[in-house]
Structure 1
Amino acid sequence: MTKDRILSAAKAVLESAGFEGLTIRRVAERAGLSPMALYRHFKNKDELVNALMQDGISAWETIVRGIRAQDPVKWLEALMKAYLDFALTQPHRFDAAFFLPAPAARRFPDDFAAGRSPAIALVMARIDQAKADGRFRDEPTFGIAMALVAYGQGFVSMQRARRFASDKQFKALYRAAQRQFLDSLKPSGKNE
């Protein structure tokens, strides 16, 4: 299918040239098409960028739905590990999901508070479960979910900017900060 071929070509261009190098001409050339032929499938670059972003989001949502831990805190820990793995093993798909300036990208906070992100909805359900079990303080669920996202996003951004001495240091600090964040949500006096 030509649209799939174009999307594959766009991923390859994004991987090799970054967002700045993602042009209709380059993608068309990589797909073996003329720019005009590409426009029959994607009316403009924004539509192509939206498709790349949606592909990345779909990949992430599949990963999140695949987390099987029953315990809500263990589930959140698995989520954080999966986020790190996604960033490191599929960096261009991760970037497409979370960093591309796609016009159709969900917007904070309204789209997320309204439940338009299946991944965030699952995160919020686990946070609510941990709160109901007495394992987290009664803080606003949405705020906890956004802080968790910001921690991960911030660490990945710093790693991409080469702000850590090594990947080993980055991973260790990422995991320690996430653990510290989850521990900070426990009610006073709880040390489990």
Structure 2
Amino acid sequence: MKPPMGAAFGAVLTLTLAFGGLAAAQTATSYAAVTAAGTPQAQFNFRVTLIPVPGRVQQVTATLKLDPLRPQDVTGTVRVPLKTLMTGIKLRDEHARNYLKAGQFPLATFRVGKLSGITALPVGQEVSGRVNGEFTLAGVTRPLSAPVTLRREASGRITVATQFDIPLGEYGVQIRGADKNTDVRLMFAVAAK
């Protein structure tokens, strides 16, 4: 994994899904993100001129339609508000947001298209598969495919983790002296609407 915000944009997407009693039903239920207090929902690392730059984005939102007994039919969208991007240095935050065109395109989004390799989410077990969809950054949308791991707890809570690289140049994002890939981690929870 390379550090972020430059040539490569590696992304680790960790979704925490909280399910209520409807999760056991055999029909898809709509879920929306809930905020975990004090926890940044997105974390990233990138490197510019060989200097690592860690950062975070807060207020990640998601809307999903999911049945834990048929997770392969999941649909939905994950949204990352780029205007809340923070690297720990105010001027660097502003520069990063400008490079990502956050003023014109305030959200990076992932639209879930298909989940393969996972036919059910058994309680207490971790299962792995692949998620496919479309990622949009700086007004450019491209197909994206990534490995994904899900774990459903007895409480109905489901943790989802994925990691992928996004070449920023393919999204029209050019950062002088930066690596081609950026690593990103997203963490959030969704609950039945």
Q: Quickly name the TM-score band, shorter chain normalised.
A: 0.3 to 0.5
Structure having the larger proportion of residues in helix: 1
Tell me which of the two structures has the higher relative contact order, counting C-alpha pairs closer than 8 angstroms and 6 or more residues apart. Answer: 2
Could you state the TM-score of these two structures normalised by the residue count of structure 2?
0.33
Could you state the TM-score of these two structures normalised by the residue count of structure 1?
0.33
Structure having the larger proportion of residues in strand: 2
